[in-house]
Amino acid sequence: MWRKLFFICLSGLSLNPLLGQASKPTDADAFYIRRLFDEALTGNSSPDWLAYLCKRIGSRLSGSPQAAAAVEYTRQVLETLDLDSVWLQPVMVPHWVRGEKEVVHIVGSPSRGDISLRALSLGNSIGTGKGGLTAEVIEVKSLDEVDQLGPGQITGKIVFYNRPMDPRSLNTFQAYGSAADQRGAGAARAARQGAVAVLVRSMTNQIDGMPHTGGMSYQEGIPQIPALAVSTEDAEVLSGLLKQERVRIFLRNTSAMLPDKLSYNVIGEIRGSDFPEDIILVGGHLDSWDVGEGAHDDGAGCVQAMEVLHLFRKTGYRPRRTIRCVLFMNEENGLRGGREYAAQALRKKEKHYAAMESDRGGFTPRGFTCESSHPDFEDRLRRLSESFPLLEPYGLFLKPGGSGADIGPLKPQGAFLIGYEPDSQRYFDYHHTAADVFEAVNPRELKLGSAAMAGLIFLLDKFGR
Amino acid sequence: MWRKLFFICLSGLSLNPLLGQASKPTDADAFYIRRLFDEALTGNSSPDWLAYLCKRIGSRLSGSPQAAAAVEYTRQVLETLDLDSVWLQPVMVPHWVRGEKEVVHIVGSPSRGDISLRALSLGNSIGTGKGGLTAEVIEVKSLDEVDQLGPGQITGKIVFYNRPMDPRSLNTFQAYGSAADQRGAGAARAARQGAVAVLVRSMTNQIDGMPHTGGMSYQEGIPQIPALAVSTEDAEVLSGLLKQERVRIFLRNTSAMLPDKLSYNVIGEIRGSDFPEDIILVGGHLDSWDVGEGAHDDGAGCVQAMEVLHLFRKTGYRPRRTIRCVLFMNEENGLRGGREYAAQALRKKEKHYAAMESDRGGFTPRGFTCESSHPDFEDRLRRLSESFPLLEPYGLFLKPGGSGADIGPLKPQGAFLIGYEPDSQRYFDYHHTAADVFEAVNPRELKLGSAAMAGLIFLLDKFGR
């Protein structure tokens, strides 16, 4: 009770114009940011941690033994960083399993015989059962097209969603955002018109043989049907064949949703000296898909978030606000970790001064985008922009935009949300595939990201009011 | 004669304040630049050309059959682009050959026995002869250290240059620039003090097993000794061992310089409509080292330069000035192509309004740096900056800095020189190694570079006075 009152009192100090007044950036601040970059670039912690997560543990799907190992491993690492506290936040997560290797092939094409297609069940998809199923394929380019075709043309068929990502989008996440509805909602939409399964073109700008898995969800009251992604190369083959002849496909997958499992968000923090109740969160998500090693998505973000706290400790920075690293569980197929974290924050009346997520891969930093539901958003962005020139020599921008899936649930609480934005060109070459492995992450690009993130958090902490 | 007078007269028009007056950028200009990016991102010419150069032809060292094939191939491609003229410019080039696979090993270490080291002869190095040589190794960190040690400590030894690139440099080319003197001048400096050979730590920030070759040169009047690069992993092993014991190394290489060969710069141009005598050059270099496929260095720059002209043709742009694509021969071990081109330009009194080179890899574009010896440089940069906001939505900068090796010889002629600057973080993972292959180039990053280059050339052409 006294502790709480004490902290409420401390928190109130941020309204005191003398204590809370932002100082002006000086040469010493520029020098300190340079030091953060030097420390990041000469050390090797984040690549070493990522190598462990990827090579010793591997992929970390929610509910898997590897996800449990990752929780334990990152807790142990955080405990070595001389933080003020490290703890686990329990959260129940979905436990979806892929089952046996998927089998998808075109059946007895008059022109080409049987053709095997490289495919992966989409996350949360049900299976066909051991026997598999065979049906005629119909190609569509959108969810609406399925509705237009209606049950007459869709019933009993496998719907093949084949709208590619738009190569003209400079930021590949925009192209992804415009195409991913096929993957997320395609099954429910097709099932409503009587489809027996869906195949979805993989979400990538590359034409290659790697299927990309990813989340999908069913809708209440609509039958659940199997949903699989096919590689873009195979999507092209299938589409080409459909222009010439009727195509029947056999598919078999044994994926299934099991009962929820207990898992954890992993949290560590450095307590603020002046405004300990003001939390600046920095995080990524610890779970990954079950193919590849979850290197870019999102081992990179996790080790970068840990490295931010590590850099502050190594450089002796004493933050005014509490800097909290949160490694969220279950971003990929449920967002339970992010939701639970926000629910707990609300319950405990925690004040999130800001929250930053790194979940766009370990590529060269380009900048930051921010958003908030708080009425003072533009004012805060303007004030942050005043000290931002300190980060411009590092080739970084700051502008309004999205943030991150795991910190999104903090938005209704008015938090100032920041998305770390690395270069996006290569992300969808790896995303949700077997190619998302440690070797695909360039260590310098990863380290530069940690430094950029630490730099912006330093500005928020030092110059924020 | 009349033709020449006519063009002198036309050229003079650029001084006419009415015709030469720069217009202000409009929405139509912004739209046109967007179109250049759209065309680049939806087409696939530059990756297709690069695949041919890398996979069908391969590495293209000056004087090699592959270099000759690359001249013929790129000429044929340029001839398909509906240009106003395509021609070859003859140039005599050095013909250095690597010979048999290098053998380098530590001889009979008391603690570890024989240890093989992964090494590559440096370009232009002489060989040891068939028998090889064995000598004690001495490690140094700089050219000056060799002088300080003097003949007493250097005579009869193999000098091992082991100063790493500085990982703190944000732009890896700066770190490269600060370390590459060991490779370029280390042999001559060591030979002056009596060394019998040099080993040089590979120029990369990565610690791995790949040796990086690269150019070196001897000095008149100083004995020529063999010079080889060792991988950074092996440099670390060697340096570690030298801290514990005396180390002797056997090395054998059979590289040799043969008589000069006839080769060519490959040139194609679109003649300008208003100021045909004003040449805007865009280029890269066609030769590469003999390991890998010369994909980033500099197949990427060549196909980007060709793509710039292709984009202008595809979009129907009619340039006011002559846009000339030049694929230079022999950047890597002689710069003969660049020198010959500039000498011919001087002789023919050609006026290079501007020259841009892409020779920093096919990575995501970051911007452009420019330089000139002309007194109006700052004025021209300022004027170019006025229209440059049209390229800022593409995340690009424009600032003073270096340009490119092949266009450097145009500097005394007062040309406005531009270096295309892609992201530099990964370049020295591949540079001059067996890993510089087509697969290391991301097609989107490559295409974005062509579009950015075409965008800046458009601004120079349309708004330049």
Domains present along chain A, CATH in parentheses:
2-95+259-463 (3.40.630.10), 99-254 (3.50.30.30)
CB-nearest partner of B167 from A42, A168, A442: A42
Task: Inform me whether the pLDDT recorded for A17 exceeds 70.
Answer: no
Statement: residue B454 has pLDDT above 50: yes
Catalytic residue among A277, A307, A331, A371: A331
Interface test with B, best of A31, A33, A425, A429 (most B CBs within 10 A): A425
Q: Span B94-107, mean pLDDT?
A: 97
Q: How far apart are CA A167 and CA A171, in angstroms?
A: 9
Mean residue pLDDT across chain A: 95
Predicted pLDDT at B14: 37
CA distance B457 to A163: 34
Which pLDDT value is given to residue A13? 37
- Helices (H), ranges, A205-266: 232-242
Q: Which of A12-16, A391-395, B130-134, B206-210 has the lowest mean pLDDT?
A: A12-16
How high is the mean pLDDT of chain B? 95
The rounded percent of chain A whose pLDDT value lies above 90 is 93
Confidence grade of residue B464 (pLDDT, cut at 50, 70, 90): confident
Residue A23 has pLDDT above 90, yes or no: no
* Res B11 pLDDT > 60: no
The one-character DSSP state at A299 is I
**Closest-CA distance of chain B to residue A465, Å:** 30
Rounded to two decimals, the ipTM of the complex is 0.91
Whether pLDDT at A20 is above 90? no
- Residue A176 has a pLDDT of 98
Residues B2-20 have a mean pLDDT of: 39
Q: Encoding tokens for residue A316?
A: 């002796």
Residue A261 has pLDDT above 50, yes or no: yes
User: Which residues of chain A have a Cβ shorter than 8 Å from any chain B Cβ?
Assistant: 37-38, 41-42, 167-168, 170, 172, 205-206, 364, 366, 394-395, 397, 423, 425-426, 429, 442-445, 448
What are the phi and psi torsion angles at B315 (to 5°)?
Answer: -95, 0
The predicted structure's pLDDT at residue B24: 85
Measured CA distances, B175 to A287, B167, B347 (Å): 37, 7, 37
Which residue, among A170, A207, A363, A441, would best test binding to B if mutated, counting the most B CBs under 10 Å from its CB? Answer: A170
Question: How many other CB atoms are there within 10 angstroms of residue B167's CB atom?
Answer: 17
CB contacts, 8 Å: B395 with chain A:
170, 366, 397
Tell me the per-residue pLDDT of A326-380, one tens digit each, with 9 for 90 and over.
Answer: 999 999 999 999 999 999 999 999 999 999 999 999 999 999 999 999 999 999 9
| Residues in Cβ contact with A18 at an 8 Å cutoff, skipping those fewer than 6 apart | none
Q: Is B331 a catalytic residue?
A: yes
In this model, does residue B459 exceed pLDDT 80?
yes
Cβ of A442 within 8 Å of Cβ of B423? The answer is no
Q: Give the tens place of pLDDT for each residue, B138-184.
A: 999 999 999 999 999 999 999 999 999 999 999 999 999 999 999 99
- As a whole number, mean pLDDT of residues A174-198 equals 98
Q: What is the CA A27 to chain-centroid distance, rounded? A: 36
List strand residue ranges (DSSP E) for A122-255, in order: 133-140, 158-161, 197-201, 227-230, 248-252
Angle between helices B181-192 and B172-179 (to 10 degrees): 10
Are the C-beta atoms of A310 and A282 separated by less than 8 Å? Answer: no
Instruction: Supply the pLDDT for residue A22.
Output: 55
pLDDT, residue A436, reads 98
Average pLDDT over residues A251-273: 98
Reduced to 3 states (helix: H, G, I; strand: E, B; else coil), residue B43 is coil
CA A254 to CA A260: how far, in whole Å? 18
Interface contact flag, B366 A395, Cβ < 8 Å: yes
% of chain B with per-residue pLDDT over 70: 95
Asked if residue A8 has pLDDT above 50, the reply is: no
How many whole angstroms separate alpha carbon A249 and alpha carbon A104?
Answer: 7
pLDDT of residue B241: 97
Q: What is the pLDDT of residues B415-453, one digit of tens each?
A: 999 999 999 999 999 999 999 999 999 999 999 999 999
**Mean pLDDT, range B46-60, rounded to an integer:** 98
Amino acid B9: pLDDT? 38
The torsion defined by the Cα of A163, B443, A290 and A211, in degrees rounded to 10, comes to 40
- The 10s digit of each residue's pLDDT in B271-317 is 999 999 999 999 999 999 999 999 999 999 999 999 999 999 999 99
Residues of chain B positioned with their CB less than 8 A from the CB of A442: 425-426, 429
Q: Which of B39, B293, B331, B340 is catalytic?
A: B331
- Identity of the amino acid at A270: I
* Beta carbons of A448 and B426 less than 8 Å apart: no
Cβ separation A448–B425 shorter than 8 A: yes
- Cβ pair B423:A364 closer than 8 A: yes
pLDDT band at A309 (very low <50, low <70, confident <90, very high): very high
Could you tell me which residues are beta bridge partners of residue B252? Answer: B103
- What is residue A130's predicted lDDT score, i.e. its pLDDT? 94
Which amino acid does the sequence have at A320? R
Q: Give the pLDDT band (50/70/90) at residue B401.
A: very high
For A94-143, the pLDDT digits (tens) are 999 999 999 999 999 998 999 999 999 999 999 999 999 999 999 999 99
**pLDDT the model gives residue B465:** 79
Contacts of B425 in chain A (CB under 8 A): 364, 442, 444-445, 448
Contact B388, B459 (CB under 8 A): yes
Which pLDDT does position A19 carry in this prediction?
Answer: 42
pLDDT digit string (tens) for A377-404?
999 999 999 999 999 999 999 999 999 9
What pTM value is reported for the model?
A: 0.93
Instruction: Give me the pLDDT at residue A322, please.
Output: 98
Percent of chain A with pLDDT over 70: 95
Mean pLDDT of the region B72-88: 98
Within a 13 Å sphere around the CA of A20, how many CA atoms are in the beta-carbon half? 11
Chain A, nearest residue to B172 by Cα: A444
Of residues B464 and B371, more confidence is placed in B371
Using beta carbons and an 8 Å cutoff, which residues of B are at the interface with A? 37-38, 41-42, 167-168, 170, 172, 205-206, 364, 366, 394-395, 397, 423, 425-426, 429, 442-445, 448
Confidence category of residue B6, pLDDT binned at 50, 70, 90: very low
Question: How confident is the model over A193-199, as a mean pLDDT?
Answer: 98
Whether A442 sits inside 8 A of B425 (CB atoms) is: yes
How far does the CA of residue B456 sit from the closest CA of chain A (Å)? 17
Residue B85 has pLDDT above 50, yes or no: yes
Residue A444: closest C-alpha in chain B: B425
- Residues on chain B touching A395 (C-beta within 8 angstroms): 170, 366, 397
